[in-house]
Amino acid sequence: MRKVGFFRSIHLKFVLIYVLLIALAMQIIGVYFVRELEETLVTNFTESIIDRLGPLEYSVIEELDADIQGNRTEEDGPLASTIEVLLRGLDSDDINEVRVVDARSRIIGAWSSDENNEPVIGQRMTDSLVQEALDGVGAGTEIKPNQTFVDQDDPDLGRIWVVTSPLISNVNGEVIGSVYIESKVEKVYTQMNDINSILAGGTAISLVITAILGVLLAQTITRPISEMRKQALAMSKGNFSRKVKVYGYDEIGQLAITFNNLTKRLQEAQATTEGERRKLSSVLSFMTDGVIATDRRGRVILINDPAAGLLNVSRETVLSQSITDLLGVEEEFTFDDLLNQKDSVILNFSTPGRPYVLRANFSIIQKETGFVNGLIAVLHDITEQEKIDAERREFVANVSHELRTPLTTMRSYLEALAEGAWEDKEIAPQFLNVTQTETERMIRLVNDLLQLSKMDSRDYRLNKDWVNFIDFFQRIIDRFEMGRSQNVTFKTKLPNELLYVEIDTDKMTQVLDNIISNALKYSPDGGQLRFKVEKKEREKEIVVSVADQGMGIPRENVKNIFERFYRVDKARTRQLGGTGLGLAIAKEMITAHGGRIWASSVEGRGTTIYFTLPYDPTNEDEWS
């Protein structure tokens, strides 16, 4: 799972936004608060100085008026001493120095908080504010550095507030002097610095607390979002078992609940889709027919195992291959031709030694809009069907041929008899004998066909009974040995024990009659027939064999002798009266008994027919 870096996480973004908003708010509040507080402190400071300046001005004006009018006595003392006494009344930590100047800009009185200052009485003041006050401009104020204490380290002496006020005579209303005051305004700014420091510290503390609270608060938002992110990543990998924890029922909590519901719906939808996919996969896998699907360009996108088996290809090699190349019809059809193909297409993959025919049916994959999205091809193996059709055609031809030959012969002889040969006492009996022989031949053929027809019917039943096969087989051998006409010897090799098998004696008699009759027909004069029965307890069966010393059968024809109407030597078979159905009937009957039948032969040395019958040794005790 890919992890999100801390500096890229939404958690940090929430905290940063929260802290930046608080910092911005604190900055705006701090700037406004400091500015307003500074104005208030400075205003309060100046007003307090000016409020105390009023009574001083009144007292100084009276002394100056008295001095100008000559009303002062020796008891009053010098004017400078009187004014100095008045100025001392302003003694305060806020005032640095106070001077009284007469109309000629000479200092007539002074007081300083610094006792080390030299007296300035009688000196002329050139300060511009003092001159403006003496000129009648009015009171003036100014904040400026304290040049007297500029080299000292005391921060309280860094700036001073200077205020001047004209002294107007109560007698004639003229300006008779001015008051000059230097106050320690630096204390106000020092207080502001302390307040700023406190405000900065409070802001820092509040930001730290805000950051901590922001982390805690952001977790309430980011934790569910982080869980939903993990769930989304798990869902992308197909894991729908996880659930997002719901921490509350606010909008994010509702989102988490909705997300869990969505997960459940997706899980159900995936389960349904997976179930349908498995059903489809099972249907495609276990279909006996092959299925091939293509895209809209005719490239193979799906092929099931039966189709791969029918075409003898591997699924990996044919994906994305053109369907026309896969089916081997690229010379006859294009993909567009297959889209419009309504009839089945026969695919003949037969070789000289192995017939193999497939039938392909095509269906278009089409959207609701009519857009062709691909093609479905369904393959059927019709090799057996074609073989059955060929056998049916061959069967009809063989039956027609077998019936036509005796019928033609009979017609010829009957026509001859009708034309007068019946009157010839020597020829007529011969003609009638031939006609009788051909009639019996047709009867045997019809009986054999009826027998095969009954065995092919689903209603065919065997009348089985438990029989000692050794005695049963010996009686049939004895019957043939007594009725043989040619010079052929019989040799038997039968067990001395009782072998009970469950068989239909009539049908098994017919099987052995057909096999032994064929062996006698093809045995040469002086030949030998060997009969053998062998018990195989492990396989729970007995093996019966009948061997002759006839001409034998070519190796390539041995596997075909149990087919209907098959003859190795047709001329000799007809000469001996065979129908070509005896071994076919024997095979059907042995198969109905649950056994097998086969042959081995060496050309020129003879043929051996084998067949098996089920044998259960546990039944011996019951019959013994």
Residues 318-354 have pLDDT tens digits of 888 898 888 888 888 888 888 888 888 888 888 877 8
Residue 265 banded pLDDT, cuts 50, 70, 90: confident
Torsions phi, psi for 499 (to 5 deg)? -125, 100
Looking at residues 533-556, what average pLDDT do you find? 87
Question: Dmax of the chain from CA atoms?
Answer: 216
Report the alpha-carbon distance of residue 35 to residue 144 in Å, rounded.
20
d(CA 229, CA 192): 51
**342 in Cβ contact with 335 (< 8 Å):** no
Determine contact, residues 133/178, Cβ cutoff 8 Å.
Answer: yes
Split at pLDDT 50, 70, 90, the class of 567 is low
What percent of the chain shows pLDDT beyond 70?
Answer: 85
Cα separation, 485 vs 477, in Å, equals: 14
Q: How many Å apart are CA 506 and CA 523, to the nearest integer?
A: 25
Neighbours of 617 (CB within 10 A): 11
pLDDT for res 456: 64
State which fold the 465-623 domain adopts. Answer: Heat Shock Protein 90 (3.30.565)
Distance CA 581, CA 564 (A): 5
Q: At 57, is the secondary structure helix, strand, or coil? A: helix
Query: CB–CB of 108/79 below 8 Å?
Result: yes
Fold of the domain spanning 287-381: Beta-Lactamase (3.30.450)
Rounded to an integer, the average pLDDT of 477-494 is 84
pLDDT of residue 533: 92
Which two tokens mark 354?
Answer: 């192995």
Three-state SS at 478: helix
pLDDT at 270: 81
| pLDDT score of 620 | 57
- For residues 458-462, give the mean pLDDT: 65
pLDDT at 377 over 60: yes
Q: pLDDT: is 79 or 374 the higher one?
A: 374
Residue 607, pLDDT above cutoff 70: yes
pLDDT of 568 reads: 61
Angle between helices 427-456 and 582-592 (to 10 degrees): 30
Transcribe 554-623 into DSSP letters. -GGGGGGTTSTT--SSHHHHHHTT--S-HHHHHHHHHHHTT--EEEEEETTTEEEEEEEEE--TTHHHHH
**pLDDT of amino acid 532:** 93
Q: Please determine, for residue 62, whether its predicted confidence score (pLDDT) is greater than 60.
A: yes
The pLDDT score that the predictor gives to residue 150 is 47
pLDDT of residue 1: 41
Q: Round to the nearest angstrom and report the end-to-end CA distance of the chain.
A: 79
The residues with which 597 forms a beta bridge, in sequence order, are: 611
pTM (2 d.p.): 0.41
In this prediction, residues 240-249 reach a mean pLDDT of 76
Give 446's contacts (C-beta < 8 A, 6+ positions apart): none
Listed residue (304, 300, 258, 298) closest to 281, CA to CA: 304
CATH code given to domain 11-193: 3.30.450.20
Statement: residue 305 has pLDDT above 80 = yes
DSSP bridge pairs for 111: 98
Range among 95-104, 111-120, 445-454, 609-618 rated most confident: 609-618
Q: How many whole angstroms separate alpha carbon 120 and alpha carbon 133?
A: 20
The pLDDT score that the predictor gives to residue 544 is 93
C-beta of residue 376 within 8 angstroms of C-beta of residue 365:
yes
Residue 439: Cβ within 10 Å count: 13
394-425 burial, b at 16+ Cβ within 10 Å, e below that, comes to ebeebbeebeeebeeebeebeeebeeebeeee
- Burial level of 133, CB count in 10 A (0-12/13-18/19+)? buried
Confidence band, pLDDT 50/70/90 cuts, at residue 546:
very high
* Beta carbons within 10 angstroms of residue 614's beta carbon: 14
- pLDDT bin (cut points 50, 70, 90) of residue 2 is very low
Instruction: Output the pLDDT for position 612.
Output: 93
Q: Give the tokens for residue 309.
A: 């088996």
Element (H, E) at 253: helix 251-286
What average pLDDT does the chain have? Answer: 79
pLDDT-derived band at 491 (thresholds 50, 70, 90) equals very high
| 244: its two tokens | 């997002």
SS3 of 190, please? helix
pLDDT band at 61 (very low <50, low <70, confident <90, very high): confident
pLDDT score at 369: 77
User: Distance between CA atoms of 323 and 303, rounded to whole angstroms?
Assistant: 11
Q: By the 8 A CB rule, do 544 and 473 touch?
A: yes
Distance CA 318, CA 323 (A): 9
Q: What are the beta bridge partners of residue 607?
A: 601
Averaged pLDDT, 593-613: 90
**Amino acid 314: pLDDT:** 87
Predicted confidence (pLDDT) at residue 271 exceeds the cutoff of 50:
yes
pLDDT over 80 (residue 497): yes
Does 444 have pLDDT greater than 70? Answer: no
What are the tens digits of pLDDT across the range 145-201? 765 554 455 544 577 778 888 888 887 888 888 888 888 777 777 878 888 888 888
Average pLDDT over residues 261-286: 80
**CA separation (Å) from 311 to 60, 190, 307, 356, 537?**
131, 101, 6, 10, 42
Per-residue pLDDT at 613? 92
- Residue range 115-143: average pLDDT? 75
pLDDT of residue 577: 47
Element (H, E) at 415: helix 383-418
pLDDT band at residue 458, thresholds of 50, 70 and 90? low
- How many residues are recorded in the chain? 624
Name the architecture of domain 387-456.
Answer: Orthogonal Bundle (1.10)
User: Has residue 465 got a pLDDT over 60?
Assistant: yes
H helix or E strand, kind and range, residue 530? strand 528-536
User: What are the residue ranges of helices labelled H in 170-246?
Assistant: 186-236
pLDDT, tens only, 415-426: 887 877 777 777
- Whole-number pLDDT of residue 569: 58
Instruction: Express each pLDDT in 197-223 by its tens digit.
Output: 888 888 888 888 888 887 777 777 777
- pLDDT bin (cut points 50, 70, 90) of residue 587 is confident
204 three-state secondary structure = helix
Residue 611: predicted pLDDT: 93
**Amino acid (1-letter code) at residue 339:** L
